[in-house]
C-alpha cells in the first residue's frame, strides 16, 4: 500500500461491523423474495416454489450454512461493499476508472468496463471469480440502485433476445423461474440471485452482444452472450458498478461462454489511478517479461459440490520466522466438498481464514511484532488485528507467507498491511480476518500488483509479482 494512502475513519466501531459482515444467514430472505415475486404475479408459482425448495435444501445440506455458491459469493461481495461504506469518508463519491476500484478504502472491488447490445451501451461490472452470472441493471428498473451510467435499455438493442424458461442457460441458473406474461412476456426465463448481506438481484435472463475493450482502442464484440437484465436490485451494491461480471467456473460465466482456455488479471495497487488489465485467451509467453521473479504455479482443484469456485491446495502459513502450528487439513475441503477449502477470489477483499487458524495467526503476529504489547488495538477477535503506531510510522511487522502445493506466495507489505487513522490515532492493521465460513479465501487485497493466470485447460493457477500498470 502506498504510504500516503492513509484512511480516515469516522468511528472505531468499524471493527465490530466487520465482524458482523461475515455472518451469513440471509437465505430466508431469498425464499421470501421469491414468494413475494410470486404473489405480485412477477414469476409463476410453480417455478417459484421449486426454486425455494432447491435453495433451502442446499442450505440444509451444508449444516454450517455454506453451500450455495451464489450465496457464498454474495457474502463476500457484501462484506466488501459494507466495509467500504463504513470506511469511506465520503460515500459514493470515489472516482472509478475502467477496470479499477473506488479510490479511498482498503476493501476494494475491481470494475471491468464492457458494453452490451447493438449499438453498445456501457456497463461497469465487478470482476468476480466467485460467481458465474453476469448481470447489469436494466430498465424499467422498478427497484434499482443509483448508478453513474444510464441504465441498460433493452429496447435500444437490436440484438437483445430474452431466453425461454426451457433454455439451457435458464437451466444453468441456481434459482430459475418462469416470468409471467404480465411482466415479462410469455415463457421468459427469470433469474434470482441472493446476497448473503441482504442484497438481491432479479431480472430477465437474455442474450446479447457483449463488447470487450482491447488494447489501443480495439474492441471485440461477442454475440449471443447470456446475461442477467436486472430490474429488482437491492442491497449493498455500491461504487460506480452497474452489475457483476461472473468469472467463475460454471457454464454461465464469461470465460465458459467465451470458451477461453485461460484468463488473467493484474490488479493495480489501491493507491494507483491506472486501470487494471484483464486478459482473456492469453499468449503462451505471458510471463516472459516477469523480470526475473519466479513464476509460482499450483493446481486448481475442482469441487463438484460447488463447481463455481477456484479451489487451491493450501498447505500452511508462515508468520515471520514461524510456520504456524496448523494442520494442512485446516485448509482442505471436507464433507464431500460442502465445507472448508481454500479459494482464490477477485470479489473478496482481504484474506479470510477459518477462526481457529486466524487466532493462531493473530497470536504469532502479536508475539513477533516489534512493538510494545500495549500497542495492540482493542479490536474484536475476528479481526483485523491492528497496532497503534505513531503517525506515518512503518513498524517492523513480521512477514506473511502462504504455502500452496508447489507454490509460495510471499506477500509484500502492500499485500497484507494497511494503515488507518481514527479519532486522532494511527493504526497499522493486518489485512486478514476470521471467517465463520470455516473456509480460506485469498482476496484481492493479497493480489494487488500480482499477475494471476487461471489456466483453465490445465487446471493450474500461476502468479508472479508484477507492476500491473506496466502489464
Ligand atoms: C461515478 O459516480 C459519480 C457519482 O456517483 C458520477 O459523477 C460519475 O460520472 C460516475 N462515473 C461513471 C464512470 O459512471
Ligand atoms: C428506452 O428506449 C426506448 C426505445 O428507443 C424509448 O422509447 C424509451 O423512452 C427508452 N427508455 C428510457 C427510460 O429512456
Ligand atoms: C405462451 O406460452 C405457452 C407455452 O409456454 C403457449 O401455450 C401459449 O400459446 C403462449 N401464448 C402466447 C400468446 O404466445
Ligand atoms: C491460453 O490459451 C491459448 C488457447 O486458447 C493458448 O494458445 C495459450 O498458450 C494459453 N496461454 C497460456 C499462458 O497458458
Ligand atoms: C458427493 O458429492 C457429489 C457431487 O455433489 C455427489 O455426486 C455424491 O453423491 C456425493 N457423495 C456423498 C457420499 O455424499
Ligand atoms: C475492549 O473492548 C471490549 C468490548 O468492546 C470492552 O468491554 C473493553 O472494555 C475494551 N477494553 C479497553 C481497554 O478499551
Ligand 1: residue whose CA is nearest its atom 7 = 148
- Report the separation in Å between the CA atom of 187 and the middle of ligand 3, taken as the mean of its atom positions: 7
339 a catalytic residue: no
Chain CA centroid to CA 36, Å:
28
**Per-residue pLDDT for 374 more than 70?**
yes
Q: How far is CA 208 from the centre of its chain?
A: 24
3-state SS of 41-78 is CCECHHHHHHHHHHHHHHHHHHCCCCCCHHHHHHHHHH
pLDDT at res. 199: 66
- Given 103, 104, 345, 422, the catalytic residue: 345
Task: For residue 458, give the ligand nearest its CA.
Answer: 4
At residue 104, the pLDDT reads 35
- Please name the residue whose Cα sits nearest to atom 12 of ligand 2: 153
Burial class (CB in 10 A: 0-12, 13-18, 19+), 159: middle
**Mean pLDDT, the chain, whole residue set:** 73
Pairing of strands 432-435, 351-354: parallel
Of the chain, the percentage scoring pLDDT greater than 90 comes to: 32
Ligand 2, residue 153: give the atom nearest the CA: 1
The predicted pLDDT at position 194 comes to 66
Element (DSSP H or E) covering residue 342? strand 342-344
In the predicted model, is pLDDT for residue 78 greater than 70?
no
- The continuous run of DSSP H or E covering 362 comes out as helix 355-368
Summarised one tens digit per residue, pLDDT across range 380-402 is: 677 688 888 888 778 889 999 99
- Contact criterion met (CB below 8 Å) for 48 and 179: no
CB of 149 shorter than 6 A to ligand 1: yes
Which atom of ligand 1 is found nearest the CA of 149? 14
Angle at 156 between CA 154 and CA 158, to 5 degrees: 90
What pLDDT is stored for residue 336 in this prediction?
Answer: 87
443-454 pLDDT, tens per residue? 888 998 888 999
The H or E element containing residue 318 is strand 314-319
Element containing residue 85 per DSSP (H, E) = helix 69-87
pLDDT value, residue 271: 57
Give distance in angstroms: CA of 379 to centre of ligand 6: 8
Q: Which atom of ligand 1 is found nearest the CA of 242?
A: 14
Catalytic residue among 103, 104, 105, 128: 128
CB distance 399 to 365 below 8 Å: no
296 against 384, higher pLDDT = 296
What radius of gyration, in Å, describes the C-alpha atoms of the chain? 22
In angstroms, what CA-CA distances link 239 with 85, 87, 382?
Answer: 9, 13, 26
Flag whether pLDDT at 153 surpasses 80: yes
Q: How far is the CA of 103 from the centre of ligand 1 (A)?
A: 12
Res 128 pLDDT > 60: yes
28-37, 98-107, 451-460: least confidently modelled range: 98-107
Q: In terms of pLDDT, which residue wins out, 42 or 462?
A: 462
Q: What's the grid cell of residue 326?
A: 496448523
Cβ–Cβ under 8 Å, residues 377 and 388? yes
Amino acid at each position: 500500500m502506498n504510504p500516503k494512502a492513509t484512511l480516515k475513519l469516522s468511528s472505531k466501531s468499524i471493527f465490530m461491523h466487520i465482524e458482523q459482515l461475515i455472518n451469513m444467514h440471509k437465505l430466508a430472505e431469498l425464499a421470501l423474495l421469491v414468494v413475494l415475486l410470486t404473489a405480485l404475479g412477477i414469476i409463476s408459482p410453480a417455478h417459484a416454489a421449486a426454486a425455494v425448495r432447491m435453495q433451502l435444501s442446499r442450505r440444509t445440506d451444508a449444516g454450517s450454512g455454506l453451500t450455495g455458491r451464489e450465496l457464498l459469493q454474495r457474502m463476500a461481495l457484501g462484506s466488501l461493499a459494507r466495509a467500504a461504506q463504513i470506511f469511506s469518508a465520503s460515500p459514493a463519491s470515489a472516482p472509478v476508472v475502467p477496470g479499477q476500484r473506488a479510490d479511498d478504502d482498503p476493501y476494494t472491488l475491481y470494475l471491468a468496463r464492457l458494453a452490451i447490445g447493438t449499438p453498445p451501451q456501457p456497463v461497469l461490472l465487478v470482476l468476480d471469480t466467485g460467481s458465474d452470472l453476469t448481470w447489469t441493471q436494466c430498465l424499467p428498473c422498478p427497484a434499482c440502485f443509483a448508478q453513474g451510467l444510464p441504465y441498460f435499455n433493452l429496447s435500444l438493442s437490436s440484438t437483445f433476445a430474452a431466453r425461454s424458461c426451457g433454455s439451457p442457460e435458464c437451466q444453468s441458473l441456481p434459482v430459475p423461474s418462469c416470468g409471467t406474461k404480465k411482466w415479462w412476456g410469455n415463457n421468459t426465463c427469470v433469474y434470482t440471485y441472493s446476497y448473503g448481506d441482504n442484497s438481491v438481484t432479479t431480472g430477465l435472463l437474455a442474450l446479447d452482444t457483449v463488447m470487450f475493450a482491447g488494447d489501443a482502442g480495439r474492441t471485440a464484440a461477442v454475440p449471443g452472450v447470456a446475461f442477467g437484465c436486472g430490474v429488482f436490485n437491492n442491497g449493498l451494491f455500491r461504487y460506480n458498478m452497474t452489475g457483476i461480471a461472473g468469472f467463475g467456473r460454471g457454464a454461465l460465466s464469461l470465460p465458459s461462454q467465451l470458451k477461453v482456455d485461460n484468463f488473467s488479471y493484474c490488479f493495480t495497487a489501491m493507491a494507483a489511478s491506472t486501470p487494471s488489465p484483464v486478459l482473456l485467451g492469453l499468449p503462451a509467453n505471458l510471463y516472459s517479461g516477469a523480470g526475473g521473479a519466479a513464476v509460482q504455479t499450483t493446481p486448481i482443484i475442482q469441487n463438484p459440490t460447488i463447481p463455481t469456485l477456484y479451489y487451491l491446495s493450501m498447505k500452511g502459513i508462515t508468520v515471520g520466522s514461524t510456520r504456524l502450528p496448523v494442520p494442512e487439513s485446516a485448509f482442505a475441503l471436507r464433507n464431500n466438498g460442502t465445507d472448508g477449502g481454500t479459494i482464490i477470489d477477485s470479489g473478496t477483499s482481504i484474506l479470510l481464514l477459518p477462526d481457529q487458524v486466524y487466532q493462531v495467526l493473530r497470536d504469532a503476529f502479536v508475539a513477533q511484532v516489534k512493538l510494545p504489547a500495549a500497542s495492540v488495538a482493542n479490536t474484536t477477535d475476528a479481526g483485523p488485528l491492528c497496532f497503534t503506531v505513531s503517525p506515518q510510522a512503518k513498524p517492523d511487522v513480521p512477514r506473511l507467507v502462504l504455502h500452496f502445493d508447489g507454490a509460495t506466495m510471499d506477500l509484500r507489505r502492500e499485500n497484507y498491511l494497511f494503515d488507518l487513522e481514527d479519532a486522532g490515532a494511527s493504526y497499522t492493521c493486518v489485512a486478514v480476518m476470521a471467517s465463520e465460513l470455516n473456509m480460506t479465501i485469498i482476496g484481492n487485497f493479497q493480489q494487488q500488483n500480482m499477475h494471476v493466470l487461471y489456466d483453465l485447460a490445465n487446471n493450474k493457477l500461476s502468479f508472479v509479482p508484477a507492476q500491473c500498470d506496466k502489464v
